[in-house]
Every structure is written in C-alpha cells, then in structure tokens.
Structure 1
Amino acid sequence: MESTVDVLAALKRKLSEELDHAIAKVAAIEAEMAAVEAALAAIPQIESVEKAATPPSGGRKMSVKAMVLDALERHFPQGASALDLLECFAKEYGRDDVARTSLSPQLTTLKNDGKIARDGMAWILVKHD
C-alpha cells in the first residue's frame, strides 16, 4: 500500500505537469494573438482624434509601464490579465493604440524590476513595505 507521502508526491507531479501544459497553452495563445495583432497593425486604420493617454490628473501622455502600474493600483487591486489591461487602457486612458505585442515586453520588464508579478493568469502589483 502506498504511503500518504507517496500519494501526495504523485499528485504534486501530476499537478505540476498540468500546470506546465497550461502555461505552454497560454504561451501558444499569446503567440497566436501577437500574430493577429501584427496582421491588424498592418491594415491601414483611421487615426483616432484623441490617442494620447493622459494621467488621471491631466498632463503628459502616460507610458505603457505607467498605465500598467496605475491600472493595477486603481482599477485592478486583485490583478488583471493582459487583455483586461488593454481594455482598461482604451476605456480609462483613451489608448486604443497599445498592441498586445507592445504590452507583453513591458509586463516582463516590470516583472523583472520587481514591480509586478504573475499570479496564475493575472498580473498583480507587488507591494513594497
């Protein structure tokens, strides 16, 4: 008869494999989305009159990194997916020009800088005391 430790270790291995598979699937979907975004970007579009996002207080156009940090703090305290962030950029900051392919590298940079982290499928703000 298997011990409890053996059963739990086997379950942990199985769950780890399932998680690896899910992460690989997400990466494949993100790559496909990037290809679609690139195709859409290649299609000439009418420029919107107001593309420049301004911070809530007004002033200069916010960078993508600044919008990520502001959106996670103000609109998504429990975290948000990349698509949630893009929708927020369009709705809250008037920035419908941010492509998914532009957002991903910015998220990675913010993660590497220790400002945000991944929690499952969501990006969360890292709290520094």
Structure 2
Amino acid sequence: MSQTLRSFLAQRESEIKEQLKKLRLELKDIQRAHEALNPCIDAAQEDSQNNARGKKVTIKEMILSVLTDFSDGLNAIVIGEQIHKKFNKEFERSSISPQLSRLKKEGLVSLSGDIWVLIRNNACEANLIENGTAEAAPEAEEAPTSSDESNDDLN
C-alpha cells in the first residue's frame, strides 16, 4: 500500500510541476501583453514611484505621469497644480509650457484648445519597449517652430 501512495504522490507532484510550467508560460505571455498595451502609462507610473524613492524625476516625466491620471487632459495651469499634489514640487507655468511643447514635438502629448492630452499610441509604446525610453512617434504632429507660435499654443 505504501508503494501505491508513493507512486500517487510522485505522479501528483509531476502533474503539479507540469501545471506550474504552463502557468509560468501563460504569466509571461500576460506580462508581455500588458507591457505592449501600457508602456507609456507604466513608464510614467514608474517615474512617480522613482520620485517616492528619492530618484530625480524630470518635469517632462512628471507631466506624463500626471496626464496618465487624466485621460481627458488638463490645461497647463492644472498640470502644474497636479504636479504639486503628486510630487510635492512647484513649477511656474513658464517652466511647464516649454516641456509640454517638447512633449508635443516628441509625439507624446497633443494639444486641443488649451487642453494637453497624453497620446496613447502603438508607436510610442513600441519605442518604449524597444529602447526603454519615450521617443517620438513617426506620425506625430510637429510642434510649431517659432517661439511666437509656441507661446500661442500654451494656455
């Protein structure tokens, strides 16, 4: 009888190990899919966590992090207020606006009226996964080139 119990336990152990192997593969697939869907958001959230750990976070990273929380977008003044709430840092609009223009030129945000919105697109996501940094999407809209036009966009 003890031999039967031993063989049962050995077989059950083998079955469980096989299930674990399949579950680990499935988990890796799920993690890859999650990364493919949300790298822009994940990167901004990671920046927020890095700030909590004392790592230096740039104004652009703070802006991206804030905009991930507001899918309808925000104007530059409210972005500054949200940065203060989230990161306990204060910046004048005159410091935030140029960063927003750079993010627009990089294809990471768009401007509609005075509302800045995070662009969630496959090109941005692909560049983040491939390079570990946010790069301009190939089809991204170009920001105005003259400083006068840029200032008109920034409200």
- Give identity over the alignment, percent: 30
Give the corresponding residue for 2:113. 120
Residue by residue, what CA displacement relative to the aligned partner does 1:47-85 show, whole Å, maximum 9, x if unpaired?
Answer: xxxxxxx72352212110001111101x21110000110
Amino acid at match of 2:56: K
Contact 1:65–1:106 (CA<8 Å) still a contact in 2? yes
Amino acid at match of 2:109: I
Give the corresponding residue for 2:61. 66
Structure 1, unaligned stretches of length 5 or more? 1-53
* TM-score relative to the length of structure 1: 0.53
Divergent runs of 4+, >3 A: none
Q: Which structure's residues are more often helix, by fraction?
A: 2
Contact 1:79–1:124 (CA<8 Å) still a contact in 2? yes
Task: Give distance in 2, aligned partners of 1:56 and 1:76.
Answer: 18
Structure 2, unaligned stretches of length 5 or more? 1-46, 123-155
Q: How does 1:11-90 map to 2 (within 5 A)?
A: 55-57=48-50, 58-59=52-53, 60-73=55-68, 75-90=69-84
* TM-score relative to the length of structure 2: 0.45
